[in-house]
Amino acid sequence: MEFLTDIEERSLDEMVNNHHWQADQIDRLLGWEVFRAFSTGNWSVAMESTDFCDRIGLNKNYPNVVVDRVRRKMTRDQDG
């Protein structure tokens, strides 16, 4: 088994801790789950948000965070 060098490990850490990279991966995994649901004919079966977050590697509170962010943006747009 080959180990990463210090430079490779730092580079990998920087990449996976980058919020833009994380958002791209979340979008990719969300797309995959939607594609999988439609291609298997399971689009009418609702997936629990905790199961969905587990599949894409996110905290189970992520849907609440997204809804809160959208709510704040809508409020800001209406006020401004």
Element counts in the chain: helices (H) and strands (E):
4, 0
Give the span between the Cα atoms of 15 and 4, in whole angstroms: 15
Give the span between the Cα atoms of 27 and 48, in whole angstroms: 18
According to the model, what pLDDT value does residue 80 have?
66
**Tens of pLDDT, residues 13-53:** 888 788 888 888 888 888 888 888 888 887 777 778 888 88
**Residue length of the chain:** 80
For the chain, domain boundaries: 48-80
Q: Mean pLDDT, to the nearest integer, of 49-77?
A: 86
According to the model, what pLDDT value does residue 26 have?
82
pLDDT band at 7 (very low <50, low <70, confident <90, very high): very high
pTM greater than the 0.85 cutoff: no
Tokens of 44: 């009418």
- Name the percent of the chain in helix, strand, coil, to the closest 5: 70, 0, 30
